[in-house]
Structure 1
Amino acid sequence: MRALKQPADENPDNEHSQHFDYDVAKFMLQLTSILYERENDSIRKAVHVLANTRPLSYAPIIGGAAQNIVSNSFQERLIPGDLVRSRFGAEKADEVRKMLDSRGDMLIKDWCMRFGIEFEVVSELNDTASTFAGLFWDPRSNWIMVACKGATPAEFGEWLSTFDPVLVESGDHSTGFKFHKGSRERVFPSEPCDLGHITPYDSISLGVKTLAKHLRRTNGLPQGAKINVWFTGHSFGCATASLVYSKFLTSPEDMGKNAELRDVYLFGAPAISDTKYVQVFNQKMLEDPKCQRAMWRITSNGDAVAVCFPKARDWPLHFSYSNVAFVHLGTEVKLRDYPLKCVIVENRTVCVSSHFTTEQIAAQRSDRYTQQGEERRELVGMLLQRIPIFGRLFAPCAMYYWDQLNRVSLGQCEQIVG
């Protein structure tokens, strides 16, 4: 995909005018959706295998990013997907890989093969439930996609953690700010890991750094060329993606010298930070005029996760010092049916752009309706989402976001400020 590999300095966007790439949004939604095929039983089995196994090397007991948790010689030996072997040996790594090659993992990798891309899990996010972070990449190109999976309906513990309406100190993320407790524990846990204080963030950071170096070396990129690092997530997975992305934004050295942070597309993101941090985040996003970035927070049909979670910035009154004063990060894009324009909740010009025309997108949708039962399924979904109050509980479904993306208008968005 051309947009994913475009160098940052060739991006025509500026702080007053930006493009929401429709094609990239659809591709990212497919990536976040396929992650739900992964099964968590295999994860629990793999954790059990390693529980009583002493690693070959321990990381020093220090905080900070991945470049501080392992030696340079250790990083030099790593290749993508090789961390378990490097820390536990080839025998245990093979045993773990066999357990993780579940039906769900095979479905993800088979899907990736159709598009000529590759996939590896990079962190289980401090839990044996189904939430995790993975890396997608094109082995012949210059981009990496960090994708974070959200909670599944059957995992009650995850939902309890997610709906814990408390802001806590940010820990290793940044000083002086607060974030949603459950989300922060996924990425920056307050209790140290037994394997040398390696946090999920450290694992993601090391994965991105290692893969970026690998892609530069194998593709023979010219001097100064960097690997684009994009982010995406769906529903509660957006919280994880937002925390990691914002940390990379303020600490780009955590990605290494070979990587360049680009945009993030979030589908139904909850509010996760306090009111003070959003100001710092917005300033940091606009700091580099040569690399304009955007965090697109995509919402549809009153998605309960995106619009019903406790928040303060969207209200006329701000409760900045309250522990329930949650704030959304990023620019909200409200999807609406053609011929209505999408709505941008910010004082800037945003254009929904695509390599396809509106007519071609409509024709693609019509072709999809030729599949038996597809048109009826979409109609039922639209009706469910229009049920007062309860419809908001159906709206977070990734399938309904896909349907809504297929019904939007291209062109300049309607602006709503405040």
Structure 2
Amino acid sequence: MSAFDHTVSDYQPAHAYWLARAAKLAYSDEAAIRDTVREWGFDRCEYFQAELDSSFPIEDTQAYAAGSDRMIVVAFRGTEPEKIKNWLSDANALVTPGPAGKGLVHEGFSRALDAVYPRVRDAVQRLRDAEQTLWFTGHSLGGALAMLASARMYFEGPQLLPDGVYTFGQPRTCDRFLAGPYDDAFPSRVFRFVNNNDLVAQLPPEPFHHVAAIRYFGADGKLREQMTVASGLADRFKGFSGDAFAPASDGVRDHQMDRYVELLEKSLV
């Protein structure tokens, strides 16, 4: 298996694979996370969990930060699409100012991050005691939180530019007035993976936007650096039918984190 070269910030297949595994690990309980990151060579780990109020469709926000003498990985847990169905389908969802007042972000995603961000920020500053490289990752909702956390880390305090942000099945998170400055500030450092018909990656509708750097798995399982609108629609049409949020639908199956890990492992060969 390819090693993770923490000194390189541009796209590397090994980075994608290992950060996908880190994103998947965020779904585990605290004990499993601590045991696994120790096996991976991280000697320090901080775990974050914060309950959200009853108006939220999810119960809590969870994340962890794993640190070694070379690198720090911050991973956010996602959730099942059905739990945030209303967030994903509502083009008129409430918005709130983005990091450092740049643009607007989905209020639900912003509040979910607010629940843990101060502790995540402080943990990164504690763990980064030897100029370690810094990486963010997450799947689904966790991808949105990873993107927003990296933006806050850079545009606000402590103004650290992460070495890489890898997200998987990330929903549209902000408007173009944050997406643009974010893309400008993070050249060749942000990689947003989408698996074919992944429903979550296509929502919420406009005016919400994605950050630019996409890596797309087609229906054939091959990884592409970009996908034209016409060919993307044709590719996604294969197998797409029925209730979009049903567990057996193509859009939900393609959203599963296990599938992303499987495809990325194959891409290493």
Q: Provide the residue aligned with 2:209 in structure 1.
A: 327
Counterpart of 1:134 (choices 39, 43, 64) is: 64
Gaps of 5+ in 1: 14-18, 39-104, 189-198, 217-225, 287-292, 313-324, 347-384, 411-418
RMSD of aligned Cα (Å): 3.0
Check conservation: 2:51, 2:60, Cα contact below 8 A: no
| Residues 167 and 178 in structure 1, CA contact (< 8 A), matched pair in contact too | no
Distance across 1 between alignment mates of 2:20 and 2:50: 20
Whether the 8 Å CA contact 1:170–1:176 is kept in 2: the answer is yes
Asked whether the equivalents of residues 140 and 171 of structure 2 are also in contact (C-alpha less than 8 Å), the reply is yes
SS in 2 for 1:135: strand
Cα distance per residue 1:237-281 (max 9 Å; x no partner): 111111111112223x426xxx65211110111111112222222
Corresponding residue of 1:400:
259
Conserved in 1, the CA contact under 8 Å of 2:139 and 2:257? yes
Deviation at 1:143, TM superposition (A): 0.7
Residue 262 (structure 1) aligns with: 163
Aligned amino acid, residue 145 of structure 2? T
Q: 1:338 to 1:394 in 2, by over 3 A?
A: closer
1:276 match: 177
1:150–1:235: 8 Å Cα contact kept in structure 2?
yes
Q: Partner letter of residue 263 of structure 1?
A: G
TM normalised by structure 2 equals 0.79
Show the counterpart of 2:71.
Answer: 143
Could you tell me which of 194, 197, 202 is aligned with 2:118?
202
Q: How does 1:104-253 map to 2 (within 5 A)?
A: 105-117=30-42, 118-124=44-50, 126=52, 129-138=59-68, 141-152=69-80, 156=83, 158-161=84-87, 164-165=90-91, 166-170=93-97, 173-175=99-101, 177-188=103-114, 200-213=116-129, 216=130, 226-251=131-156, 253=157
- How many residues of Structure 1 are paired with residues of Structure 2 in the alignment? 246
TM-score, normalization: structure 1? 0.53
Q: 1:271 to 1:125 in 2, by over 3 A?
A: farther
Mapped partners of 2:154, 2:105: distance in 1: 16
Deviation at 1:164, TM superposition (A): 4.8
Tell me how far apart the structure 1 counterparts of residues 90 and 116 of structure 2 sit (CA, whole Å). 20
Larger Rg: 1
1:220-240 C-alpha deviation (Å, 9 max, x unpaired)? xxxxxx221110000111111
Which ranges of 4 or more aligned residues in structure 1 deviate by more than 3 Å?
Answer: 125-128, 158-165, 336-341, 406-410
Aligned with 1:3: secondary structure? coil
Shift of 1:137: 2.0
| 1:143–1:229 Cα contact (<8 Å) kept | yes
The alignment partner of 1:24 has SS state of helix
Residue segments in structure 2 that go unaligned for 5+ positions in a row: 229-236, 242-248
Deviations 1:17-74 (A, max 9, x none): xx42111111111111122122xxxxxxxxxxxxxxxxxxxxxxxxxxxxxxxxxxxx
2:239 is matched with which residue?
387
